[in-house]
Structure 1
Amino acid sequence: MKSFLKNLGPGILVSAAFIGPGTVTVCSLAGVNFGYSLLWALFISVLACVVLQEMSARLGLIYGKGLSHCIREELKNPVIRLFILFLIFTSIVIGNAAYEAGNITGAVLGVEAVFPSLSYNIGSFRLNFWSLIIGATAFILLFLGSYKKLEKVFIALVFLMSLAFIITAILTKPDISAVLKGFVPGSLDEGLLTVIALVGTTVVPYNLFLHASIVSEKWRGEKYLGVVRKELVFSIFLGGLVSMAIVVAAAASNIEEIESAKDLAAGLEPLFGSSASIFLGIGLMAAGITSSITAPLAAAFVVQGCLGWKSGMQAGKFKMVWMLIIALGVIFSSLGIKPVEIIKFAQITNGLVLPVIAIFLFWIVNKKEVLGKYRNNLIQNILGVIIIALSIFLGAKSVLSVIQNF
Structure 2
Amino acid sequence: MNNKAKLKNKLGSFWKLLGPGLVTGASDDDPSGIATYSQAGAAYGLSTLWTALIAFPLMTAIQQMCARIGLVTSHGLTGALKNNYPRPILYLMLLFSFPAIVLNIGADIAGMGAVGNLLFPSIDSTYFSVLFTAILLGFIIYLPYQKIAAILKYLCIVMLVYFIVPFLYKQDLIQILQSTLIPTVKFDKEFMSVLVGILGTTISPYLFFWQASMEVEERNKIENKKHLIVNKKIIQEINEDVDFGMTFSGFVMYFIILTTGTVLYAGGIHQIDTVEQAAIALKPLAGNLSYLLFAVGIIGTGLIAIPVLSGSLSYIITETFGWEQGLDKKFHEAKAFYTIIGISLLLGLSLNYIGFSPVKALIYTAILYGLTAPVLIAVILHISNNRKVMGRFTNTKIANFFGFTTLLVMTAAAVTLLFLQLTTD
TM-score range for the pair, normalised by the shorter chain length: over 0.9
Partner of 1:249: 259
Q: 1:282 and 1:15 mapped to 2: Cα distance?
A: 18
Q: 2:186 and 2:216 mapped to 1: Cα distance?
A: 38
Structure 2 contact 28–249 (Cα < 8 Å) conserved: yes
Partner of 2:8: none
Partner of 1:300: 314
SS in 2 for 1:333: coil
Partner of 2:178: 181
2:99 maps to 1:94: yes
Amino acid of the structure 2 residue aligned with 1:181: Q
Q: 2:359 and 2:170 mapped to 1: Cα distance?
A: 26
Partner of 2:339: 320
Partner of 1:78: none
2:396 maps to 1:377: yes
SS in 2 for 1:309: coil
Partner of 2:139: 141
- Which string of whole-angstrom CA distances, capped at 9 and with x for unpartnered residues, describes residues 307-339 of structure 1? 122343321111111111011011013334443
Unaligned runs of 5+ in 2: 1-10, 220-227
SS in 1 for 2:401: helix
Partner of 2:380: 361
Q: Decide whether aligned partners of structure 1 residues 102 and 263 sit closer, same or farther in structure 2, where only a CA change above 3 A counts.
A: closer
2:6 maps to 1:9: no
Which stretch has the larger CA shift, 308-317 or 354-363?
308-317
The Cα shift of 1:188 comes to: 4.1
Q: 1:257 and 1:325 mapped to 2: Cα distance?
A: 30
What is the percentage of aligned positions where both structures have the same residue?
23
Which stretch has the larger CA shift, 170-179 or 356-365?
170-179
Q: Decide whether aligned partners of structure 1 residues 117 and 99 sit closer, same or farther in structure 2, where only a CA change above 3 A counts.
A: farther
Partner of 1:205: 205
Structural mapping, 1:119-130, within 5 Å:
119=124, 128-130=126-128
The Cα shift of 1:58 comes to: 0.8
Q: Decide whether aligned partners of structure 1 residues 118 and 337 sit closer, same or farther in structure 2, where only a CA change above 3 A counts.
A: farther
Q: 2:360 and 2:152 mapped to 1: Cα distance?
A: 27
Structure 2 contact 22–248 (Cα < 8 Å) conserved: no
- Which string of whole-angstrom CA distances, capped at 9 and with x for unpartnered residues, describes residues 246-266 of structure 1? 111101222232243443234
Q: 1:84 and 1:129 mapped to 2: Cα distance?
A: 40
SS in 1 for 2:351: helix
Partner of 2:225: none
Q: Decide whether aligned partners of structure 1 residues 381 and 186 sit closer, same or farther in structure 2, where only a CA change above 3 A counts.
A: same
Structure 1 contact 25–340 (Cα < 8 Å) conserved: no
Q: 2:61 aligns with which of 42, 51, 56?
A: 51
SS in 1 for 2:271: coil
- Which string of whole-angstrom CA distances, capped at 9 and with x for unpartnered residues, describes residues 227-277 of structure 1? 111111111111110111111110122223224344323433345422233
Partner of 2:302: 288
2:130 maps to 1:132: yes
TM-score, with structure 2 as normaliser: 0.88
Partner of 2:33: 23
Structure 2 contact 28–201 (Cα < 8 Å) conserved: yes
Extract structure 1 runs of 4+ deviating beyond 6 A: none
The Cα shift of 1:173 comes to: 2.6
The Cα shift of 1:287 comes to: 1.3
SS in 1 for 2:278: helix
Amino acid of the structure 2 residue aligned with 1:361: I
Q: 1:169 and 1:115 mapped to 2: Cα distance?
A: 24
Structure 1 contact 101–333 (Cα < 8 Å) conserved: yes
Structure 1 contact 37–181 (Cα < 8 Å) conserved: no
Q: Decide whether aligned partners of structure 1 residues 305 and 27 sit closer, same or farther in structure 2, where only a CA change above 3 A counts.
A: same
Q: 1:13 and 1:299 mapped to 2: Cα distance?
A: 16
Q: 1:167 aligns with which of 164, 170, 177?
A: 164
- Which string of whole-angstrom CA distances, capped at 9 and with x for unpartnered residues, describes residues 282-325 of structure 1? 01111122111111100011112211223433211111111110
Amino acid of the structure 1 residue aligned with 2:192: L
SS in 1 for 2:119: coil
Q: 1:278 aligns with which of 292, 317, 326?
A: 292
The Cα shift of 1:278 comes to: 1.4
Amino acid of the structure 2 residue aligned with 1:256: H
TM-score, with structure 1 as normaliser: 0.92
Structure 2 contact 62–403 (Cα < 8 Å) conserved: yes
Q: Decide whether aligned partners of structure 1 residues 262 and 207 sit closer, same or farther in structure 2, where only a CA change above 3 A counts.
A: closer
Amino acid of the structure 2 residue aligned with 1:165: Y
SS in 1 for 2:392: helix
Partner of 2:84: 74
Q: 1:259 and 1:396 mapped to 2: Cα distance?
A: 24
Structure 2 contact 25–246 (Cα < 8 Å) conserved: yes
Amino acid of the structure 2 residue aligned with 1:264: A
Structure 2 contact 111–276 (Cα < 8 Å) conserved: no
Structure 2 contact 32–275 (Cα < 8 Å) conserved: no
Structure 1 contact 205–354 (Cα < 8 Å) conserved: yes
